[in-house]
Each structure stands twice: as structure tokens, then as C-alpha cells.
Chains A and B, each alone.
Chain A
């Protein structure tokens, strides 16, 4: 079985890294792209520790070449299965790799402080719950639009992620402008004390492995 880590440019070579099962990482190549894999004799363990180790390996790989991370945990039965997938989607992946050169992903969380979304237990009636919920959703939508406007000058692409509270926005930005993006977000947060902003990353471009629709 082959554990799958990332799609990389065909000419990138082979990384000198050890995978989750303790074996050296290899590459399976096609004309357009290559897949970083590890041969192993077990299915991936879906523990938090293993997911974190996978993320660390991807971060090391991302420091070495442009990549498209593969969702954890993914595997293929054989090299020939990997090669077939590369033959089928390699051209699409190569085009996306070209677009992602030199960029990283940041995740921005924004929320209104002191205005938690209502839960049914907090409110005396279903009608009031729905009105409060609608108001919270409208407030979050306004926050998302503002956040996207603040981030836009520094981002190539953005993508809204699901969030329990407030807004979560994945931002694809050139590595050399991430400090400017963070500064713009700090300024935005400072303009309204009721706004809370948290930024994490930079990560490999997990949320941007496909070209945007349209």
C-alpha cells in the first residue's frame, strides 16, 4: 500500500524525508506531475498524533518545493494506481502548481466579541430563537464581507470555511506579503473593539488545491 502525501512538480526530484511508517518518501512521476508517497504495510492510523505528524511532513515538503497536499489519510493500492491517477489528473495539477508557486495559506477567524450565537436553551420561544439566529447570521455575513474586503489587496484567492461562531476565511497570499496581510488585519481589529481577529498559518495551500470556480 502507498500512503499519499502531496502532488509536486514532475521535475522536483525526491525529498529526503521519512514518512509516517518510518520509510523513506518516494515519488511516482508522470510527464506532468509527481506524487510523494510512502510504501507501507498498514492503513494509516487516524489519530490526532498521526495527523499532526502528517502536517509536519507536509510543512517540510512545502519548504522544499511547491505542492498540493493530499487529504489525510489517503492511500492507493500500488504505484501503478498512483501513476494512473497522475496520468488522469497530472495536467490539471501541473497548472495549479504553477499558480501556487510562492504562496501560502493563512486562516483568519473573525467574530463579534460579546455576541455569541443563541442556542435553543437560552431563549424562551422558537420564534425568538429564529429571530436571534437570523440576526446573528446577518451580523456574521456583514463581518465576512468586511473581512474579505480587508484581505483582498493581499490575497490571490480567499475561501470561506465553515465556522461554529463568526467567520473563518482561508487566504491564499504570497509568502512575502503575509506580514502586510497580518498588519491590515490588526488595523481592522483595532478599528472596532467589539471585533476579535485571530490568524493562523502560514500553511501549505490545503484549501486551494483546485482552481476557483468560474
Chain B
């Protein structure tokens, strides 16, 4: 799977989604990764959308943890 955007529109989409899930105010009580099933789905999104080295770090961490 390639993580490199193919077109300008793809770049915009990737940047927007990356900022939506990676930027913004983090509020106490945030439930983003609090449930295992949600965690997995969320990680799935990042596999598609996040910069690769972040994904590699996330996946690497998971592998080491398991």
C-alpha cells in the first residue's frame, strides 16, 4: 500500500484528515483511544492517512507491546 498522495486533491485530503485526527485541542475526558476496539479502528485510519514514519512508530510500538 502506498502512502504517497497521487494528486493535489489527495494531498489536500490527507493533510486535512491528518490535522483533524492529529491536531486540535485535546480535552480531558478524551475517549479517543480508551477502548481496545476503538483503538484498533483508529490505528487503521492512521495506517491510511498518517505520515509513514508515524505509522511505523505506532506499529513498532504495538509489536513490541504484544
Contact = CB atoms under 8 A, between A and B. Distances in A.
Interface string B31-56: 11001001001100100110111100
Interface string A94-122: 00000000000101010000000000000
A85 B27 contact: yes
Interface string B19-37: 1111111111111100100
Interface in A24-39: none
B24 A164 contact: no
Interface string A1-17: 00010010000000000
Contacts of B52: 164
A188 interface: no
Interface of A: 4, 7, 43, 46-48, 51-52, 54-55, 58, 68-77, 81, 85, 88, 93, 105, 107, 109, 161-165, 168, 170, 198, 200-201, 203, 206-207, 209
9 contacts: A46-B41, A51-B20, A55-B17, A75-B29, A161-B18, A170-B19, A200-B12, A203-B19, A206-B24
Most chain A CB neighbours (cut-off 10 Å) among B8, B13, B19, B42: B19
Interface of B: 3-4, 8, 11-13, 15-32, 35, 38, 41-42, 45, 48-49, 51-54
A75 B51 contact: no
Given A164-B4, A200-B11, A201-B15, A46 B31 contact: no
Contact of A164 (B28, B38, B45, B53): B53
Given A48-B49, A164-B4, A165-B4, A69 B24 contact: yes
Given A55-B17, A109-B11, A203-B19, A74 B41 contact: no
